[in-house]
Every structure is written in structure tokens, then in C-alpha cells.
């Protein structure tokens, strides 16, 4: 995989950061986005380049404005000569999910729409732009990060869970239509994974403890538990896998 290029949204924290370092350790050049902390992003660029001998660049992206992916990819074109992998990972939290992260009877269209935009629309536009570049080099791999919150009940997660179900359906459609271009599309569904985003949940401790209780492995998932699956799906060893959702849940959805 050395010399190939990964484009990933939300690469400075949690699952995204774990994926960035997993790919960099395998010689993949990295183009990642960040939302607000440019200093942190640039420090990560220096760390990646100095420790892994790869090329890395950071780009600002507001995932609630997914149409700006078009301009972002034009910037990437100037810095990299190819795009082999695209992972739609960035999520939203805080004020933007008010009315979306709550009980069913308190859900509001604005909150749900914001989550849908950041989850589904961002995947669509990012994947479209990536696929145009992949077609020029004979193929590639696209992944959307999902969540088992669309399979099992998580308190206050109706807005997120429904949008994750939608993006998994979109993945199957994209895989079916892009297969003729030798572009594979899959989803990696984790749940629950111990990240800053999850710690922002009002019932974080309850989710953490319940997950460890449900898992036969006796612990909560970590970002690194998903990064290896993403690397596999982008490798030649997964050359006949497309249109699927890989569930990485520590066995929790069976109980």
C-alpha cells in the first residue's frame, strides 16, 4: 500500500486519528480534514511525516457544508497525484445536534437534518469526488464509518441511528453502481467505541459500563479496533468485498 493516498474526514481525534496512523504505518500518504483546531492538525502532519516517512496534509472542512468537498478535492489534487482510498468519518456534536440527540418525542427536524447532512450527504459528495479520482487510476476503496446504534437501542440515539441506517443503504447503492469502475464501497460499523464524541453523551458512563457487561470480551471498543478493519477493506486482501457493513462490536449485538 506504500505510495497510495488516503483521504479521510475528521482525522485529528478518535476513530479518524486511529485510522490515519494505521494507514501511515503502512506507508500510505494521508490527506485528512479537521474542523477548527488548525494547530493540532498541523502538529499531526509533522508527526506523521517525521515518524512514518509519508506525505501528509491537513485541510479545513465543515462537514455541515458537504458541497465544499468539491473545492477541497481540488486542493488535494494539487498536493497529491492520486486518490486510492476515501473514508467518510467526521461527525458532529454539541449545538449542531440539538433536537437530534434526544428522546424520540423531543426530536426536531433541524437536529435530525444536521445529522443527516453530516452523515449521508457528506458521504455522498465526498465519495463522488473521490470516485472521480479513483476511476483515473483503475479503482479504489471507499468506506463510511457507521454505528450499531441503528441495530440496537441506545438512549437519545434515534437521530444518529436512523442516519447511520441510511448511510449503510447508500453504501450498498454506491457499491452496486461503482463496481464496474473497480471501486469497492463498504461500511465499518462500530459500537460503542470509546471516543471524545461518545464521552460527550449525557449517559456515557452508563453506555461504557453496559457495553463492557454485554461484550464477551469484557471491555468497550477502542478506536484502534476499527482502524485495522478499515486497512483490511482497503487492501488487496479484500478485493472481492463490496456493499457490506462490517460490524465490530465486541459481540455486544448478540446479547
**Dihedral sign computed on CA atoms, order 19, 195, 243, 134:** negative
Contact 102, 159 (CB under 8 A): yes
The single residue of 55, 157, 181, 255 carrying the catalytic annotation is 157
Number of other CB atoms surrounding residue 206 within 10 Å: 11
Neighbours of 142 (CB within 10 A): 28
164 catalytic per annotation: yes
List strand residue ranges (DSSP E) for the chain, in order: 5-8, 29-34, 56-60, 85-88, 140-147, 183-190, 245-248
- 72 is written with which cell numbers? 477541497
Report d(CA 8, CA 39) in Å as an integer: 18
C-alpha cell at 247: 460490524
CB atoms within 10 A of CB 161: 21
Phi and psi at residue 222, to the nearest 5°: -115, 155
- Residue 219's nearest CA partner among 196, 189, 188, 248 is 248
| CB-based contacts of 247, cutoff 8 Å, min separation 6 | 148, 151, 189, 191, 253
Q: Give catalytic status of residue 204 as yes or no.
A: no
- The one catalytic residue among 17, 101, 164, 173: 164
Radius of gyration of the chain (CA): 17
* Residues catalogued as catalytic: 157, 164
Amino acid at each position: 500500500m506504500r505510495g497510495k493516498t488516503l483521504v479521510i474526514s475528521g482525522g485529528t481525534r478518535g476513530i479518524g486519528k486511529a485510522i490515519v496512523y494505521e494507514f501511515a504505518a503502512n506507508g500510505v500518504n494521508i490527506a485528512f480534514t479537521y474542523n477548527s483546531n488548525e494547530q493540532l492538525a498541523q502538529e499531526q502532519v509533522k508527526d506523521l511525516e517525521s515518524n512514518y516517512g509519508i506525505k501528509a496534509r491537513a485541510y479545513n472542512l465543515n462537514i455541515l457544508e458537504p458541497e465544499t468537498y468539491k473545492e477541497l478535492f481540488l486542493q488535494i489534487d494539487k498536493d497529491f497525484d492520486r486518490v486510492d482510498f476515501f473514508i467518510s468519518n467526521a461527525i458532529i456534536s454539541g449545538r449542531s445536534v440539538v433536537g437530534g440527540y434526544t428522546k424520540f418525542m423531543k426530536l426536531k427536524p433541524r437536529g435530525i437534518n444536521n445529522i443527516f447532512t453530516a452523515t449521508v450527504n457528506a458521504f455522498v459528495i465526498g465519495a463522488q469526488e473521490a470516485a472521480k479520482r479513483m476511476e483515473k487510476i483503475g479503482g479504489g476503496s471507499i468506506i463510511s464509518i457507521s454505528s450499531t446504534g441503528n441495530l440496537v437501542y441506545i438512549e437519545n440515539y434515534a437521530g444518529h441511528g436512523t442516519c447511520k441506517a441510511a448511510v449503510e443503504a447508500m453504501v450498498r447503492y454506491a457499491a452496486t453502481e461503482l463496481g464496474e469502475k473497480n471501486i469497492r464501497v463498504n461500511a465499518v460499523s462500530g459500537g460503542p467505541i470509546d471516543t471524545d464524541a461518545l464521552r460527550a453523551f449525557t449517559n456515557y458512563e452508563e453506555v461504557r459500563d453496559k457495553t463492557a457487561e454485554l461484550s464477551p470480551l469484557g471491555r468497550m471498543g477502542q478506536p484502534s479496533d476499527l482502524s485495522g478493519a478499515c486497512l483490511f477493506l482497503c487492501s488487496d486482501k479484500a478485493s472481492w468485498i463490496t456493499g457490506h457493513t462490517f460490524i465490530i462490536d465486541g459481540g455486544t449485538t448478540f446479547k
